[in-house]
Structure 1
Amino acid sequence: MSKAVSPNSINMAEDQIEERRQEIDYDTREFTIEIIVNKYLEKDDDDLSEIYVPEYQREFVWDITRQSKLIESIVLGLPIPLLFVAEIKETGRLEIVDGSQRVRTLAAFIKNQLRLTNLRTLNYLNGFYFNDFPPSRQRKFKNTPIRMIVLSDKADERVRNDMFDRINTSSLDLTPMETRKGVYRGDFIDFVFECSKTKILVDLCPIYKYFQNRNEEAELVLRFFAFSETYPEFIIADVKNHNDLERTGVARFLDEYILWKNRTFTNEEKKQKIYDFKRMLDFIVKTFPSGFKKYQDSDATSRPYFEAISVGSYLALKQKPDLVVKNLWKSSDKNNQSNSFRIPIGRYQTHKPENMRQRIDYVKEKLLNHSL
């Protein structure tokens, strides 16, 4: 039989509930798709858009089918999940806590970057871009209202983080790297996890609270090896398989890369990869004032940003092993690398091969052009 809770404990619990409830102040707003997309796109290149995606959510992961189904649901008039945003006290901007994939899909569709695919209910829309809709349908789509929960600026970062955790851990799935660790056992996957514990890497790559202790560092290491080895086509080719990033998507591409390396990994290759990895990290320490962070005070590492800097630096060092970079940063850029180092990450299809090449080549050429 359980011990009865004391009256004092009950009072303390009630006080805590009331205190925490006061921290979570929110309201519900409703905007049209057109307004949401405009607020998201306007000044986004300068990181000043009114509705924005935080660094830890910068990777776009939805495939074309999932994007198309969202558009189909809206056209059919079906309800879609609410957006969760948080009002930032210092700027008044709205940080997307949950819904970044939806907002970016809507923006891509309206900007005619998304071609509807694999629809079943409205199968006649397959192949359509937004511009293929008649003007009346375009207006109806843009005027569709979407509701959002807005945490007021009374909610500090701790409350926002807690909200993100609750949304994303209500049914906690394994991350791809957690799955790979258990499924794709072999010498290469063990090597990746060994590299992920390198102190310099850990120091250079702050991990957002939600991803801590979930093998995010190993995910970054795997991406460095996979994309640096398969650049510029991002194709894995051997006797049995021929898999490319364009066709498979990034998660499956990385799975196939691990399977390939587990079969072919040798001690000689291991030594070379350790050398390349450590040389790249040492170069980052000497060259980039914020490491793999976009801002000096950032608490997260954007995967696309990491890929661009790590692979771009590796390729520059490969071309010029004694590379030393000077006069890359203005004194005013020490706390904000993006001022003079504007890597073209993009907001949509971040792992389309041409987008990958564009941002990696940008880093490589920028470094070589500022070398001694």
Structure 2
Amino acid sequence: MSVLDDVNKYRHELVTDNYTVTWRELLGQYKDGDLVINPDYQRLFRWDLDQQTQYIESILLSIPSPPLFLAKNDDGRSEVIDGLQRISTVLKFFAADFPGFKDVGDDEVNELDQNDISRPIKLVAGRIVNSLEGFAAATLPDTLARTIRYARVPVILLEKESTKNARYEVFRRLNKFGSPLGDQEIRNCTARLLGHEFPDALRQLAESPVIVACLGLSDESIRRMGVEEMLLRLLALIYSEQKLKHQVREYLDDFMEFAAEGKFKLTEDIKARVIKSFELINQAVPDGRAFRLLSHGFSTNLFDVVATGVYQNIESLTPEFFAIRLKALVGGPELKPLIGAGSNTRKKLQGRIELGKAWFK
């Protein structure tokens, strides 16, 4: 097959429509339930009040912004796949138009409120229009409120005839380049375009108190799905059928895609084995200390050795033996050649897995 044939084949997997629409129409679609923001996307709305104000200011000043990307679902509704921050900002600004909105009154706006789209926003001073400070949709001059409602925004719609893989690639590529989202957050959302079962199971497993306690990650890391990422890393290192080609990040992307397509099942037996492994680690060395190198913070390199080693030897391990072997590992010469510069090369990554399996045997 020639490169021309190859390009034509895959180009036909993506069916799109381009048009412009007013914010008033988008607000109406959302109110009617025809515009959907998946809860897993909505939780990623993180613009602070300055950023939200600047976007409202941009609309008022007719400053162009990139198109919104929507995907038509089988039920005929349109789902947001890119443009979450902008759509959420406008929805929040006009939140009083929707049933169930929460009026915060004159109370001080905390972080939860400023990212809850059911709570109307009060603008702060804009970068250009400083006098926007304190205005809400209800108090803004009618002329300006109408300017926002009737401002036009470009939309690229992925029609339902597009294949799941094509939609997956659109979301993945839009959010991979210059995205403020964490890698695992992107994986979680993009994978759902291929299937919900594995992402849901991974999230449920990541909520296990013993796993959270054992990893000892910061609150910020947990919020950015750090627990899910470590579990995905463990599962990929044990079960992936792919060899590391480039970066570990891409390796994990591939496994998340592989699992979301149903090619790997997070079975009850595997989940039980994972929990049992972390229970043993936490019993012997609690609060994340099992994954820290001396005075340093969390080490993914040490995690590779410890987590995979315990997982593969869990039937014969005791907390006492594990604690002794971990201390010898951190203080010994075997680990040093497999960490540091170039630690994510295939040779060193494979070396860490083999060391863990032998070390905790």
Q: The TM-score by the shorter chain falls in which range?
A: 0.3 to 0.5
Query: What's the TM-score once normalised by structure 1's chain length?
Result: 0.44
Query: What's the TM-score once normalised by structure 2's chain length?
Result: 0.45
- The structure number with the bigger radius of gyration is 2
